[in-house]
Amino acid sequence: MNFEYSDEQRQLADSVRKYLANEYDFDKRKTIVHSPSGCSDAVWSTLAEMGVTAITLPEADGGFGGGAVDLMAVMEACGEALLVEPLLDHIGLAARLVARAGSAAQRAALLPGVIDGSLKLTFAGLEPGYRYELAPQSTQARRQGAGWVLDGRKSVVIGAPWANKMIVSARTGDHSAASLFVVDARAHGIRMSPCRTVDGQRAADIKFTGVSVDADALLGPEGGALPFIDEAVDFATALLCAEAIGAMQYANDATLEYLKTRKQFGVPIASFQVLQHRMVEMFIHTEQARSMAILAASKVDTAGDAAERRRAVSAAKVKIADAARQVSQESVQLHGGMGMTEELKISHTFRRLTMIGQRFGDADHHLERYAALG
Amino acid sequence: MDLSYSSEEAAFRDEVRAWLAANLPADIRDKVTHYRHLTKDDHVRWHKILAAKGWSVPHWPVEWGGTGWNITRRYIYDEEFGLVGAPSLAPFGPSMCASVLLRFGTPEQKQRFLPRIRDGEDFWVQGYSEPGAGSDLAALKTRAERRGDHYIINGQKIWTTLGHYGDWIFCLVRTDAAAEKRQEGISFLLMDMKTPGITVRPLILMDGGHEVNEVFFDDVKVPVENLVFEENKGWTVAKYLLGHERMGSGAVGSSKRELAALKALAAREQKNGKPLIEDLRFRDRLSRVEIELDALELTSMRFLDKMRRSGQPPGADVSMLKIRGTEIQQALTELMMQAVGPLAQPFVAVEGGAVDPLASRLAPRYFNYRKTSIYAGSNEIQRNIIAKMTLGL
């Protein structure tokens, strides 16, 4: 039994945290969010230099061969800082799919760029009208000559406007025949409708109209990509849980500090028991959620079968969604009117935690998945 | 990170599990798993079986009969008890009084009391709460007046769990009514419950069960050698005991057993022609409790890991185990009761009738478990502790 981070895990997270504290404070983040691309190339390349993009990739491909646990502490730091660069979509989803499903040639073509930060990837998975469904339905790929042609739509693809390439899921047969394709984000026939999300990220709805790709764009087995997608989304969900812990930790720290400094009726509001007990509940929720985030990351790395992994990840996501809701709502309430304003980071943390609660499946979605596993 | 027990710890768990399977009397286990109260004989019989194995007081120093197990082994031991339905020994003697004696007792007191506690010869109970002193324990009024080599005790205790089984009782009593601070006039006293002037009156709880009592003291004569630590320093003793190891308060093992029982019950019960466990509304509530319990188990293990590393007792934040643990216990008893629907209503057979032996226990069990968030420091007091000690509020 050992619940401590290793020295390497801690050191990396400490450097990331220190870097973000200096270069990603609340004002600098705001500047980035409102910049044309909504993301910072400088931050991205620094994170890559620190090794963040390499940790979870196989050693054979130039990575460090680590797992979700090795990136957990870093994700916590990103959560505290409310990082808007799409690290999760890049590393957790797209690069994971390439590393797991890709041929030697595809890995050699893509992963070095992922690791050095020069190639930005994202995963286009969700579709309008299909909620959290992972099997592509409305996006279809059909053979044309030696290659493929893609048609269809994808919804809220985080990181898409900034990405160089996308991993796109498309149906290549019956409703469970999922395939993956590596598609250039600027390919002919792609129309992006970009947006800024409520928590400050950049995303796009994407329409594919007769997008032609070569035969070697097919990533993994034709029609057999669903287990890879399921695994990558579980992996990313575990990382998202860790990110949520960081954001909740910030919310708790900031709220605790506020309770101790804000005075009403001539005394710090921290002296009111009704507020103390609410603060204690935020603390307990966060610690219980942290336990489940650890479980999810650990099982993603070590589970003997997909059912064990899915069960742990869904249990964790239910707990994280519930805790994120409680902690974010209470942190705003305990900050009073100031908690409602743009000016305080707490309101931005509220937005991020709220969207984390719904990403990759909300509590209801994961309760259903959890129950189905017995 | 590594979330599993080491192979050595797993082997120990298997050893405890196998021993319990072979040595826990079936009638006692059945009472636990069917939510029936244990008699004094059940408690004492089980205590003596454990004592014969050398396992009645694992947490004591080895010289007094402890096992020398580390904190992880002790946690595993407790968890296995819960999982199989073995009753934990009543904590008042082996855990509470003994901890005080080991820390504050004279050599004579240790020699006199500890072996008999270890072997289950004396059944101890706790005299702390009074009608006017619950969470505010320092408000206690039971008086102890020094007369030569005796104290004369007058007053009343309440909520004395298993007081009707008690051979001995340890009490907080007021020895100096004029002390400047209320805490400074309190002493820790041991009393033989056969002493004239002690009267035990049952308080029947809403499940119909007799667990707790009122204890009245009417000119009870107690020799001064039964004072533990110094006169008027009883609050120091009480605080030591309150801060004592509370790792087991999450009751993870027994809640896991209850969860399994609930799932089995919900698989048998039918709703709309299907097993209740397939009903989405019921299933979601069950899953949320199960997930909270998963989290609590891991949180407990994180505490263990931290304590093992630091060699220090857990901090005040261990109170969260009591809060969440009791909330989970209460949620499980409530779901059990709701699982049988209308069949939760029958309570006792009358006039030659019959009631289902399990279903008829589920509502009383739910009623009874409302106590868990009240006893051993109410959950509100636990939140006060975390607020003050952990969060600095």
Q: Catalogue the active-site residues of B.
A: 245
- Which residues have a Cβ under 8 Å from the Cβ of A258 and sit 6 or more positions away? A334, A335, A338
Q: Does B70 touch chain A (CB under 8 A)?
A: no
Contact B277, B268 (CB under 8 A): no
Q: Does A334 touch chain B (CB under 8 A)?
A: no
Q: What is the DSSP letter of B121?
A: -
Rounded to the nearest angstrom, the gap between the alpha carbon of residue A173 and the centroid of all alpha carbons in its chain is 29
Residue B245 Cα, gap to closest chain A Cα (Å) = 19
Q: Which residue of chain A has the CA closest to B264?
A: A374
Residue B4 Cα, gap to closest chain A Cα (Å) = 5
Half-sphere exposure of B366 (CA within 13 A, CB side): 19
Q: Does A104 touch chain B (CB under 8 A)?
A: no
pLDDT over 70 (residue A201): yes
Q: Which helix (H) or strand (E) holds A254?
A: helix A226-261
Q: Give the mean pLDDT of B342-349.
A: 95
pLDDT at A374: 80
Q: Which of B4, B288, B386 minimises the CB distance to A318?
A: B288
pLDDT at A68: 98
Note whether A277 contacts B383, CB cutoff 8 Å: yes
Task: For B134-152, write each residue's pLDDT tens digit.
Answer: 989 999 999 999 999 999 9
Task: For A258-311, write each residue's pLDDT tens digit.
Answer: 999 999 999 999 999 999 999 999 999 999 999 999 999 999 999 989 999 999
Mean pLDDT of chain A: 97
| Planar angle of CA B231, B232, B238, nearest 5 degrees | 105
pLDDT over 60 (residue B245): no
Contact B60, B98 (CB under 8 A): yes
Q: Which of A1, A283, A287 minimises the CB distance to B4?
A: A1
pLDDT at B315: 84
Residue B244 Cα, gap to closest chain A Cα (Å) = 21
pLDDT at B241: 85
If phi > 0 it is left, if psi is from -120 to 50 it is alpha, else beta; for residue B142 that is beta
Note whether A292 contacts B2, CB cutoff 8 Å: no
Mutate to test the interface with B, among A256, A280, A364, A370 (most CBs of B within 10 A): A280
Q: Which residue of chain A has the CA closest to B389?
A: A280
- Count of pairs with CB atoms under 8 A, one residue in A, one in B: 115
CA distance A296 to A289: 10
Q: Which of B6, B301, B391 minimises the CB distance to A283?
A: B391
C-alpha gyration radius of chain B? 22
pLDDT over 90 (residue B244): no
Q: Does B317 touch chain A (CB under 8 A)?
A: yes
Q: Beta B168-174 vs B227-228: how paired, if at all?
A: unpaired
Mutate to test the interface with A, among B290, B298, B305 (most CBs of A within 10 A): B298
Phi, psi values for residue B164, rounded to 5°: -70, -10
If phi > 0 it is left, if psi is from -120 to 50 it is alpha, else beta; for residue B324 that is alpha
Phi, psi values for residue B191, rounded to 5°: -135, 135
Q: Which of A147-161, A322-336, B6-20, B309-323 has the lowest mean pLDDT?
A: B309-323
Q: Which residue of chain A has the CA closest to B277?
A: A371
Tokens of B103: 């820390």
> Chain A 153-192, CB below 8 Å of chain B: which residues?
none
Note whether A284 contacts B324, CB cutoff 8 Å: yes
Name every chain B residue with its beta carbon within 8 A of the beta carbon of A259.
Answer: 393
pLDDT over 70 (residue B376): yes
Under DSSP, is residue B98 helix (H, G, I), strand (E, B) or coil?
helix
Contact B297, B83 (CB under 8 A): no
pLDDT at B389: 93
pLDDT over 60 (residue A207): yes
CA distance A69 to A83: 19
Q: Does B386 touch chain A (CB under 8 A)?
A: yes
Q: Which of B2, B284, B296 minimises the CB distance to A288?
A: B296
ipTM above 0.90, yes or no: yes
Q: Which of A200-204, B183-187, B247-251 has the lowest mean pLDDT?
A: B247-251
Q: How many CB atoms within 10 Å of residue B311?
A: 7
CA distance B211 to A129: 58
Note whether A289 contacts B292, CB cutoff 8 Å: no
Contact A320, A365 (CB under 8 A): no
Q: What is the DSSP letter of B344?
A: G
Note whether A292 contacts B298, CB cutoff 8 Å: yes
B22, B17, B125: which is closest to B76 by C-alpha? B17
pLDDT at A288: 98
Report the C-alpha dihedral over residues A359, A361, A362, A366, rounded to 10 degrees.
Answer: -150
Residue B385 Cα, gap to closest chain A Cα (Å) = 9
pLDDT over 80 (residue B247): no
Q: Does B247 touch chain A (CB under 8 A)?
A: no
Sign of the alpha-carbon dihedral angle for B323, B327, B328, B330: positive
Task: For B68-122, write each residue's pLDDT tens digit.
Answer: 999 899 999 999 999 999 999 999 999 999 999 999 999 999 999 999 999 999 9
Q: Does A259 touch chain B (CB under 8 A)?
A: yes
At residue B242 the predicted structure's pLDDT band, cuts being 50, 70 and 90, is confident
Alpha-helical regions (H) of chain B: 7-23, 26-33, 40-53, 71-84, 98-104, 107-118, 234-242, 252-268, 280-310, 319-339, 359-369, 379-385
pLDDT at A287: 98
Rounded to the nearest angstrom, the gap between the alpha carbon of residue A127 and the centroid of all alpha carbons in its chain is 18
Q: Does A273 touch chain B (CB under 8 A)?
A: yes
Contact B168, B121 (CB under 8 A): no
Q: Which residue of chain B has the CA closest to A3?
A: B1
* % of chain A with per-residue pLDDT over 70: 100
Q: What is the DSSP letter of A197?
A: -
Under DSSP, is residue A171 helix (H, G, I), strand (E, B) or coil?
strand
Task: For A224-263, write each residue's pLDDT tens digit.
Answer: 999 999 999 999 999 999 999 999 999 999 999 999 999 9
Name every chain B residue with its beta carbon within 8 A of the beta carbon of A295.
Answer: 3, 294-295, 298
Q: Which of A3, A260, A371 minimises the CB distance to B301?
A: A3
pLDDT over 90 (residue A4): yes
pLDDT at B243: 66
pLDDT at B249: 81
- β-strand partners of B144: B153
Task: For A34-53, write each residue's pLDDT tens digit.
Answer: 999 999 999 999 999 999 99
